[in-house]
């Protein structure tokens, strides 16, 4: 497998875009990535689109073709990917495979979704038999994660609230973020209860948005003269679903990140910053542990110490994360890649992590039993 580089990235703002469709949002992100890379669209040999909700909410399929036609790109192989919240990062993984294998020299990968719906419209966990019988919704599932982690390790409501406070502070520094208003621990805890112990301000918003990246070979990135950000690790994993009782960790994440660290030749101690799937504040604490940033049960201590803040030992979600930046489902994984690429190039004005060299993106999708259906880990290294 040969080296793969991120030559350019682009993103819309995340939030409510009621007057725009999938093609418009996706087209903006792709166009920005092409300009950022300085590459002619005719050099792109394949496209990979992550979209989770188009068929369900907009009754639109073949989203990748629609988006690329929006920017005048046709006649190339286009793959549409649906893998729940991991749709965009799975598209990235497939694009990485295409370049790493030598099949292509330059591809575009992008994610796009419109997830803003009328108030009160539920999104079920999925069609898994047990969950549907129980009428499980996402807040309920993650409330069980929070309850189990609190019971097992003494994690507190205040520690969970601090995650939301940190990420909303970071969101205030990010021009692409949906929420740019700081919160206090007291405000998070006093916000309306959604699913005990998860309150409103401990939940991410469903958002509209798109993000894209241009992946290319070493020869192409050298010719373009772009900063060298290498995709050193790319892993897609599916859960074993044999952990049906312990909601305090995700086995799929622990196994995926171990493989990614081995692939990239780095460990958790080498990371400069991390972006994770913080759909609810408890998620980030569990991810600290699953990614090896601390031992199991010590995630609450990490947030108490300020280790994951910008300027801390290992900043997590400098972008604001899903909690503040927003969660346009199929676009979120590539939104992480855009943020980390800017960070590794020293271009994240106002929220820059000094000396950033090695970055990790973690994204999960769906749930089944006490595990996730999909987990992507990507490790980027500035060369």
Instruction: Cite the active site residues.
Output: 85, 327
155 φ/ψ angles, rounded to the nearest 5 degrees: -60, 140
Cα–Cα distance measured from residue 379 to residue 383, given in angstroms and rounded to the nearest whole number: 13
* Cβ neighbours of residue 236 closer than 8 Å, sequence gap 6 or more: 86, 90, 93, 256, 374, 375, 376
Q: How far is CA 383 from CA 211, 345, 379, in A?
A: 23, 10, 13
Q: What is the C-alpha separation between 150 and 145, in angstroms, rounded? A: 9
Q: Do you find a cis peptide bond into 197, omega within 30 degrees of 0?
A: yes
CA dihedral 89, 108, 71, 334 (to 10 degrees): 20
Beta strands in 58-116 (DSSP E): 78-81, 106-114
Half-sphere exposure of 291 (CA within 13 A, CB side): 32
């Amino acid at each position: 497998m040969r080296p793969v580089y991120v030559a350019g990235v682009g993103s819309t703002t995340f939030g409510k875009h009621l007057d725009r469709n999938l093609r418009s949002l996706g087209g903006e992100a792709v166009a920005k990535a092409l300009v950022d890379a300085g590459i002619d669209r005719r050099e792109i040999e394949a496209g990979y689109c992550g979209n989770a909700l188009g068929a369900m909410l907009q009754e639109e399929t073949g989203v990748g073709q629609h988006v690329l036609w929006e920017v005048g790109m046709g006649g190339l192989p286009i793959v549409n990917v649906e893998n729940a919240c991991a749709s965009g990062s799975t598209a990235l993984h497939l694009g990485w495979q295409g370049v790493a294998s030598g099949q292509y020299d330059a591809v575009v990968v992008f994610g796009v979704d419109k997830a803003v719906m009328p108030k009160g419209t539920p999104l079920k966990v999925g069609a898994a038999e047990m969950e549907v019988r129980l009428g499980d919704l996402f807040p309920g599932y993650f409330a069980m994660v929070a309850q189990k982690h609190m019971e097992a390790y003494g994690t507190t409501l205040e520690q969970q609230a601090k995650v939301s406070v940190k990420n909303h502070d970071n969101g205030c520094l990010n021009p692409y973020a949906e929420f740019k208003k700081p919160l206090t621990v007291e405000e998070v805890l006093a916000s309306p209860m959604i699913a005990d112990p998860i309150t409103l301000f401990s939940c991410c918003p469903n958002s509209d948005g798109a993000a894209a990246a241009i992946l290319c070979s070493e020869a192409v990135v050298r010719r373009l003269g772009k900063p060298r950000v290498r995709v050193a690790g790319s892993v897609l994993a599916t859960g074993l679903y044999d952990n049906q009782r312990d909601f305090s960790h995700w086995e799929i994440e622990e196994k995926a990140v171990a493989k990614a660290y081995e692939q990239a030749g780095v460990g958790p101690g080498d990371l400069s910053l991390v972006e994770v799937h913080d759909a609810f504040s408890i998620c980030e604490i569990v991810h600290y542990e699953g990614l090896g940033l601390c031992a199991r049960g010590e995630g609450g201590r990490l947030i108490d110490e300020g280790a994951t803040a910008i300027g801390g030992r290992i900043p997590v979600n400098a972008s604001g994360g899903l909690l503040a930046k927003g969660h346009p489902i199929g676009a979120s994984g590539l939104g992480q890649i855009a943020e980390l690429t800017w960070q590794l190039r020293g271009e994240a004005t106002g929220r820059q992590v000094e000396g950033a060299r090695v970055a990790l993106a973690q994204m999960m999708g769906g749930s089944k039993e006490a595990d996730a259906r999909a987990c992507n880990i990507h490790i980027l290294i500035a060369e």
